[in-house]
Structure 1
């Protein structure tokens, strides 16, 4: 039983160390993903400002209907916003070619410079995200993590990609490791408690048996001594009779 408890503790420690490694890699993927979503949100805001500036020059009906980004972590909404931003920016640039005064607008030029910087940032963060996802997926698929990654809720991380039409594909990455780990550790704790209680009960029963055995031996000793005394007295009486004869 002691060996079983030691083995159980060793497994728990090993699982804890392995879990922390995967969790750190998963959190890095999520952080990189959030960075991309935040930058896409900035590009969306610049596209909206460009739309507002260009609306007075014509074709303003093509510059509206933006998708509202609810949060930086919502990758589905971020993808929709990125598609809308790309469409509107393209329309604004075509409009600027038709209206030189729009192209010469100082605010328009400033926003276009910011847009170029954001595009470079998105590219860098996309590469950083894909590298983090690759490291996480490689560790997740290697031994010994391969045996328990799915069971603990560590799903495969999707890669940031661009389709044939140039649209950005950003799939959301989430893990359920926290909830599943708590449930697993809870079951292991209950199992360890049950076995510990069982072992304690067996030890107590063994001690009780030993105490009862010692008590029984102590009670039998006086009887034996008395019998020995009677035997000795009998022997002396026999000797006296023989001498008298």
Structure 2
């Protein structure tokens, strides 16, 4: 009878430990999903500002239609990738696609800013100046939100990969997630606006 009781206690301890690991995995996954929600809000703001900036600049950049088109195409790709990633922020492939799309958008915006430097009347326009400042501020917010998200993903992945957590994670299909990374050092910086 003593052996049976000891066996039941061991089983109960193992079950409680498995439940603890499972609940911690759920908590960590929800934390990084919340972190992505913060990125999502800032990216939406960024994506909403860009058409206003392009529309305001059209009158000044009539000879630079390719630049404006490039910005809008990159913006549209980033919006699509953002919506896809928002549907499942735990899917590493979707997060990587979002990072690539945002990198392309950052490059297109950098090109736009470089072209804008050649148009003094464009740089003097109050509306355009305000939009560029708001966009730069939003870039900084995206960076902060991305850092919090990446920290959450790192904590989740570390806990998920530790033994015996990796066994429980495998049993309940807790997959690794990817950090939101930008591909180039230039894209990691907020666009510089100089007037």
Alignment TM-score > 0.5, same fold: yes
Looking at CA atoms only, which structure, 1 or 2, has the larger radius of gyration?
Answer: 1
Q: Could you tell me which residue of structure 2 aligns to residue 67 of structure 1? A: 76
Partner Cα separation in structure 2 for residue 79 and residue 138 of structure 1: 22
Alignment of 1:82 with 2:91, yes or no, is no
Q: Secondary structure at the match of 2:169?
A: coil
Q: Within 5 A, what are the aligned runs for 1:111-122? A: 111-122=131-142
Partner Cα separation in structure 2 for residue 154 and residue 112 of structure 1: 41
Partner Cα separation in structure 2 for residue 141 and residue 81 of structure 1: 29
1:80 CA drift (Å)? 5.6
Q: 2:18 aligns with which of 4, 10, 15?
A: 15
1:9 CA drift (Å)? 5.0
Partner Cα separation in structure 2 for residue 26 and residue 53 of structure 1: 41
1:166 CA drift (Å)? 4.0
Q: Secondary structure at the match of 1:161?
A: coil
Partner Cα separation in structure 1 for residue 186 and residue 118 of structure 2: 24
1:100 CA drift (Å)? 1.0
1:141 CA drift (Å)? 2.0
Contact 1:32 1:132 in 2 (8 A): yes
Larger RCO (CA under 8 A, 6+ residues apart): 2
CA RMSD of aligned residues (A): 2.7
Q: Which runs of 5+ in 2 are unaligned?
A: 88-94, 189-195
Partner Cα separation in structure 2 for residue 78 and residue 161 of structure 1: 9
Contact 1:22 1:140 in 2 (8 A): yes
Q: Secondary structure at the match of 1:160?
A: coil
TM-score of the superposed pair, with normalisation by structure 2: 0.71
Partner Cα separation in structure 1 for residue 58 and residue 104 of structure 2: 16
* Structure 1 residues 166 and 97: alpha-carbon distance in aligned structure 2, compared to 1, 3 A threshold: closer
Q: Secondary structure at the match of 1:56?
A: coil
Partner Cα separation in structure 1 for residue 20 and residue 109 of structure 2: 48
Size of the aligned set, in residue pairs, is: 168
Contact 1:51 1:92 in 2 (8 A): no
